[in-house]
Chain A
Amino acid sequence: MAEDSSGETSALSTGGGNGHVGGETGDRTDRRRKSDRQQSNDRSAWNWLLLPAIVIPLLVPLYNRVEPTLFGWPFFYWGQLAFIALGVATTSVVYQKTKTRKNPDARSRPGSGTAERTGR
């Protein structure tokens, strides 16, 4: 591994305990050049919307009860299945707000066989 000898090596490798957490540490111009678009995508405030979908299903006392029942189901069961809708809703919104292209399959239809193989 003799790489990183090129000019634009990683600033992260300088060591010395500067802990940068996943984000805007790049002070290099070469880094700015291409990453404007993507960085705004990756670090979006919309991502916070995903937090409730992770936390709420783990709050057991919230749903560890029988009432209210639905079609004979205790709340413990139908409530947790309802959280699936919460997860789908939040990931859908965040996807819509952070996606980079109109249709991720645009250049090829899935399942249609050979058409999908576009050489790089």
Chain B
Amino acid sequence: MDGIKTTELVVFIFFFLLVTVLGFYAARWRRPDDLLHLDEWGLGGRNFGSWVTWFLVGGDLYTAYTFVAVPALMFGAGAAGFFAVPYTIILYPIFFLILIRLWSVSHVRGYVTPADFVRARWDSPTLALLVAITGIVATMPYIALQLIGIEAVLKTMGVEGEIPIVVAFVILALYTYSSGLRAPALIAFVKDTLIYLTIIVAIIVIPSKLGGWDVIFGAAEEKFGSGSGVLLPATGQLQYATLALGSALALFLYPHSITGVLASKNRDVIKRNMSALPAYSLALGLLALLGFMAIAAGTTPIGGDGNTIVPALLESQFPDWFAGVAFAAIGIGALVPAAIMSIAAANLFTRNIYKEYIRKDASSRDEAKVAKIASLVVKLGALAVIIFIDPQFSIDLQLIGGVIILQTLPALAIGLFTRWFHRWALIAGWVAGMGIGMLMLYNIARIDPATGEVIRAHFGGSAFALSKLGFDTPTTIYTGFVAIGVNLLVTVIATFILRAMNQPEGTDSTRLEDYFADEDDPRVQDLPLDIGEPEPVAGGAGRPRGPDPVT
């Protein structure tokens, strides 16, 4: 298996260069009057139609890591890995009901980040800061994981060492810097075309080579034993359902999903996409089965790295040139979400930390400049984490990420519907949910299913045994689900207490009709009466102060 696979590498590099050109060209695509505005750099002008949104959000949610890790999970654990399918089905009705309101209120009020909304809704910069930090912390390891996706592909092609990844990421960082959200939007067209092509070919060619689906499922059954594996064990069903639900709730709270949605031009574009985006779920479901195909084909992961299972399978089943196409699909699949995530994190830093705490009078030009630099810092940070710290650290963090981002659900998602909660109660709930979530994750050990040995004592997974809470059952549940339950409980109780104590509720600066507004409705910036959030239009715009204060 050693040695560099030249044909594959050439095809891979060809596509990589293609998207690099596209990434830089994107700055001119749908050219705005002035790219130096956070609405332009960070949200692509808030003007994407149905097609662009489909590619952008699809490219954003279904990351390279997903495409590599889900089949790897199927390969290693069987049916439990298929949770990605119900997860990405229930996602869209939830988006449909909730994010559409966020789009409307953000459109009217000019919010760029979820924390912008939280600040205005609850009149609490502290709560907004917590939401922003939660978002950034949850997103960073997610970016790092995209690198693992690229790494898996490069390893399979026989390319070792860190320099190629550094080069890829530096190029990505540069065109994201210059083009903003337009870069991943444009690249997503290439990525998704390649992904669909790869999956369609894989799903037709590989089963026929291996002798049909009976053989594939038969091989999986043989590996896992008849009881569980191809089906879920009875004790794993609750975990399966709560993981799917918890992951779906977490995904739409992630800043990068919200960035993708806010970039669309009107409500109907979002609604329409909710019935078009599940095409990606179908692709993901089929891709997950590559894990079973790898079992049937007798594929072994390269160097014991489970994430290489899909690349290794494709490499063994496809002619070299097409394997190169498939690897390009995964590699570019890492670039799109990494770009969007870094933009989302940069927006959060700029709007909710820099402007809130460091320079209150920052103009929209200053904001865009700071955000561009922040996106570089975020990406280099992710790169450093992968190179200098064990990649396992990122996987653990990402596991934690899902649990912690869920803790913003009451302030953000429920806040779109009601302002019943007290703002300080939301903070108390966040603290409680975080605490419980961390404590539970810390106490989950990973146990080798075959030998019963403890592989990792802490942060070994997200399935929490209910027996640890005193229930007499072997059933497990998704940690995030328990944590958000505790969070909500504390929030409600604290709200009652704070009300009884007559603590100030703050002022809501959104109005009811904001939540239903559409493209043609007036935006706050356009109104002569400035009652909203946007920056002061004072003469500070063109001041020659550089974007240097990045901290």
Contacts and interface: CB of A to CB of B under 8 A. Distances in A.
Interface of A: 1, 3-6, 8-13, 15-17, 19-22, 25-26, 31, 34-35, 38-39, 41-42, 47, 50-51, 53-54, 57-61, 64-66, 71-74, 76-77, 80-81, 83-84, 86-88, 90-92, 94-95, 98-101, 104-105, 108-111, 113-114, 116-117, 119-120
Given A21-B417, A84-B285, A117-B32, A57 B89 contact: yes
Nearest to B214: A72
Nearest to B525: A120
A20 B418 contact: yes
A104 B266 contact: yes
Q: What are the 5 tightest A-B residue pairs by CB atom distance, in nearest-first order?
A: A110-B49, A38-B516, A72-B213, A104-B268, A15-B505
Nearest to B93: A50
A116 to B, nearest CB: 6
A34 B521 CA distance: 9
Contacts of A1: 120, 123, 507, 509
A61 B237 contact: yes
Contact of A91 (B271, B418, B507, B518): B271
A95 B515 contact: no
Interface stretch (B94-102, B382-390, B404-412): B94-102
A3 B532 contact: yes
B210 to A, nearest CB: 11
A13 B505 contact: yes
B140 to A, nearest CB: 29
A106 to B, nearest CB: 9
Given A81-B282, A95-B275, A117 B123 contact: no
B254 interface: no
A109 B117 CA distance: 30
A23 B89 CA distance: 27
B50 to A, nearest CB: 5
B49 A116 contact: yes
A35 B512 contact: yes
A41 B266 CA distance: 14
A120 B238 CA distance: 49
B244 A113 contact: no
A119 B46 CA distance: 11
Nearest to B241: A58
29 contacts: A8-B511, A9-B507, A10-B508, A10-B509, A10-B512, A13-B507, A17-B420, A19-B418, A22-B416, A31-B511, A53-B93, A58-B86, A60-B241, A72-B213, A74-B231, A76-B232, A77-B285, A80-B82, A81-B85, A81-B286, A84-B89, A84-B285, A87-B93, A95-B274, A98-B271, A104-B49, A104-B266, A110-B52, A113-B29
B282 A76 contact: no
Q: Does more than half of chain B's interface fall in helix, strand or loop, or is it mixed?
A: helix
Contacts of A51: 93
B267 A100 contact: yes
A86 to B, nearest CB: 8
Contacts of B509: 1, 3-4, 10
A71 B289 CA distance: 14
A117 B86 CA distance: 37
Given A10-B512, A72-B217, A84-B282, A91 B86 contact: no
Contacts of B289: 77
Contacts of B274: 91, 95
B127 to A, nearest CB: 13
A21 B420 contact: yes
B119 to A, nearest CB: 8
Given A3-B531, A4-B508, A57-B86, 14 more contacts: A12-B419, A13-B123, A15-B504, A16-B505, A53-B93, A58-B241, A60-B237, A60-B238, A81-B282, A87-B275, A87-B281, A101-B266, A113-B29, A117-B31
Contacts of B101: 42
A72 B215 CA distance: 8
B245 interface: yes
Contacts, number: 225
B513 interface: yes
Which of B216, B266, B517, B532 has the most C-beta atoms of chain A within 10 angstroms of its own C-beta?
A: B266
B510 interface: yes
Contacts of A108: 49
Nearest to B94: A54
A105 B416 contact: no
A83 B271 contact: no
Nearest to B88: A84
Contacts of A8: 511
Contacts of B32: 117
A64 B231 contact: yes
Contact of A66 (B52, B93, B231): B231
Contacts of B418: 19-22
Interface in B38-78: 45, 47-52
A14 B486 CA distance: 28
Contacts of B33: 119
B269 interface: yes
Contact of A54 (B93, B120, B266): B93
B359 interface: no
Contact of A58 (B231, B245, B515): B245
B472 interface: no
B380 interface: no
Contacts of A113: 29-30
Interface in B340-382: none
Interface string B10-49: 0000000000000000000111110000000000010111
